[in-house]
Amino acid sequence: MILSDVGIQTRLNSKELLIDPLDDTCIQPASVDLKLGRQFVIIKHWGAGILDFTSEPNYHRVEADEFLVPSHSFVLATTVETLRLPHDLTAFVEGRSSVGRMGLFIQNAGWVDPGFKGQLTLELYNANNLPILLRSGRRICQVVFCKMDQKTKKPYKGKYQGQKGATGTRIFMDQENSAK
């Protein structure tokens, strides 16, 4: 069941769900708009060979109020807001339609597990032939909350728990890489 604005507000008021800071005007009928933060991360491709799942990419980090995403380029960004989900809510993140209509695709691997705490890292891809100028503080995506049939026995405790800012991949920490 997807939470309505009333359900979202009830969970926020009871402090079961945290969105901080929260601009009340961002609460939509069935979602909450989140704003773009000031941290951006790109993979340094100059001098790099290939990317694989066993080693950490070399990143270039930028903190700025504005960031220009070149045509057909990929960048990680962060939300202003920190989220904390209770053990009976999950969420998914979608780009805002108005942003997508400019050719900017937004994802965060699509899913936020129950028990997650932290800022969201957004995966942005400019599919347009023109650069897109991003400004921090603008509404960039929306988060939709879904009530689960019951509380999970195993809330999220993964490698992105507590993340702050735009966080690069940690796939190199996966158990498959240590099973050699």
Are residues 140 and 95 in contact, defined by beta-carbon separation less than 8 angstroms?
yes
Torsion over CA: 70, 72, 77, 79 (sign): positive
Q: Is 176 a catalytic residue?
A: no
- Catalytic option among 16, 63, 123, 176: 123
Q: Where are the beta strands (DSSP E) in the chain?
A: 18-20, 32-43, 59-63, 66-69, 74-84, 89-95, 104-107, 111-112, 117-126, 132-135, 139-147
Q: Which residues are catalytic?
A: 123
